[in-house]
Copies of this chain bind each other. A is one copy, B any other.
Amino acid sequence: MKYHETPLQVRFYEVDAYGVAWHGHYVGWFEVGRNDLSQRYRMGPLQLKEMNLLAPVVELDCQFKLPAVFGAPLIIQTTMEKTEVAKLIFHYRILDRENRRVLATGSTTHVLTDLKGNLFYWVPPEVLERIEAMRKYLGV
């Protein structure tokens, strides 16, 4: 199993009154990593929309281990869990790019719906194909 890596640098406005990146921004960074990965397999938000699909987040969790300061060069690591059901589960790690220490971990669970929000109970074949290509790349 491998992680797809996306570089990112902490922006000034992402730092809070405590002088470290505000915890809520990690959710956005997870998304940056997820989109960077999924767009390569035509599974980005706009690419799904072209297939009349949405993949809304239904669950989110994050564990914060070490703070990130302004300007810190980070790596967002993203991988995918193998699931039997019509759910996409992504796992993330935020690393300090210099010393490779893990600053945070987390995951998001997504369902597949049509544009009106109706849930898919099975993954459409054209999507399954893309997921399998992504899994092959990630080794999961």
Contacts and interface: CB of A to CB of B under 8 A. Distances in A.
Total identical chains: 4
B46 A71 contact: yes
Nearest to A44: B71
A58 B54 contact: no
A61 B64 contact: no
A31 B12 contact: yes
The A interface is mostly helix, strand or loop, or mixed, namely mixed
Contact of A12 (B17, B63, B71): B17
Given A35-B71, A61-B59, A24 B13 contact: yes
Contacts of A61: 59-62
A18 B12 CA distance: 10
Nearest to A106: B60
Contact of A45 (B24, B58, B59, B70): B70
A17 to B, nearest CB: 4
A46 B69 CA distance: 10
